[in-house]
Amino acid sequence: MKFLVINSGSSSIKYQVIEMETEAVLATGLVERIGETVGRLKNTFYPGTERERESELEQAIPDHDHGMRLVIALLTDPEQGIIADTSEITAIGHRVVHGGEDFRESALITPAILEAIKRNIPLAPLHNPANLDGIRVAMEIFPTVPQVAVFDTAFHQTMPPHAFMYALPYRLYEQDRVRRYGFHGTSHRFVAGECARLLGKPLAECNLITVHLGNGCSMTAIAGGVSVDTSLGLTPLEGLVMGTRSGDVDPALHLFLKQNKGMDLDGIDALLNKESGLKGLCGMNDMRDIHKAVAAGDKRAALALDVQTYRNRKYLGAYMAVLGRVDAIVFTAGIGENDAIVRAASLKGLEAFGIRIDPEKNSQRAKTARCISRPDSSVQIFVIPTNEELAIAREAATVVKK
């Protein structure tokens, strides 16, 4: 069984073809700069194996339909493709950013499901329309193949009202569904399952804190295998310090900037989402550049690192209080998986809570899941690579099987 996983963005299409019996990746690629003068398709067949081969194409890609058809032409190419024709695709899994309160789990795509995704556009005006574009194109190209929507927000729909409600007039929730939703749910669900396997326990018996640190960052408290609180909120702006996003700020900052800097709401939104976070503090949002600058004595880079890891510690402490008992802390995503300095700084001073990191294990680089805590740590610490594409494929397989 070959599954196609599609993540359709506003100007891009990420994709993978996965052989589900072995969960081997047969192809992975990215169509980018859709709608620009020159677009690009980058593809890799059999990544990470001896048969790995790459290809790249540059040409005008006016829309998602054109981009997806270029992908299919490449995948079915008689000389280098990995499938004979579209009939070899058993199912398609689509990443959908926002399911609102309509979806607690992944869903087989029907006209009713498409309408529900459309209804949630006000909650994700940049992402859901692009996700719908990808779904519609795939349904045209693969009219007989079952297609599944996998929602970033679904995993967090188990949060209790006291965790997801904001202390705002209740009518805003009733009329406009203003509440905490959380994101990165596919990643948090995946690493939680992998952690339970490493602990040798059913996921339903595990209390975990999963820490997704990349350009976007989030943390989730998982009790008995389900999400009970998460740091991202109504939008992906709340919570931890991110690459270009501020995370938590005083809500009255908007009024302050309007009155004192003459900024309008669009300008403030752009400032908080694109000019803040690590970039706002030191001018850099790539942690590798920040570490180099810190080593060279850059005080603002050091400040940015301190602000981010301090915020991480605050949330870890809060979620330990939420859970009471914590079996493990899991670091994942680009920074979480690869940055020993950030991991160590985020856990600094938490020894009294039974969190003891092993410096030697933490400093080792590996692409596989591993434990980096000391034997006397009552809370185990793991680094587990996330694999959202595989998680989407597994979700699609479960839905299709049902």
Q: Is 169 helix (H, G, I), strand (E, B) or coil?
A: coil
- The partner residues of 96 in beta bridges, in order of sequence, read 151
Q: Which pLDDT does position 84 carry in this prediction?
A: 86
Residues of the chain above pLDDT 70, percent? 100
CATH number, span 202-388:
3.30.420.40
Rounded Cα gap, residues 115 and 145, in angstroms: 20
Q: Which pLDDT does position 114 carry in this prediction?
A: 95
Q: Which of 144, 133, 147, 148 is nearest to 66 (CA)?
A: 133
Fold agreement between 2-151 and 202-388: yes
- Higher pLDDT among residues 202 and 33, named by residue: 202
User: If pLDDT is split at 50, 70 and 90, which confidence band does 8 have?
Assistant: confident
Q: Which residues contact 262 (CB under 8 A, 6 or more apart)?
A: none
For residue range 60-117, what is the model confidence (pLDDT) as tens digits? 999 888 999 999 999 998 888 888 888 889 999 999 989 999 999 999 999 999 999 9
Computed over its alpha carbons, how large is the radius of gyration of the chain?
22
Domain edges within the chain: 2-151, 202-388
Q: Which pLDDT does position 79 carry in this prediction?
A: 85
For tokens 């459309």, the residue is 118
Please give the average per-residue pLDDT across 3-11, as a whole number: 88
Tell me which fold the domain 2-151 belongs to. Answer: Nucleotidyltransferase; domain 5 (3.30.420)
User: Could you confirm whether 286 is annotated as catalytic?
Assistant: no
For residue range 354-380, what is the model confidence (pLDDT) as tens digits? 999 999 999 998 889 999 999 999 999
Q: What is the pTM of this model?
A: 0.91
| Annotated catalytic residue, options 77, 102, 133, 152 | 152
User: Torsions phi, psi of 165, nearest 5?
Assistant: -85, 140
Q: Which DSSP state fits 373?
A: B
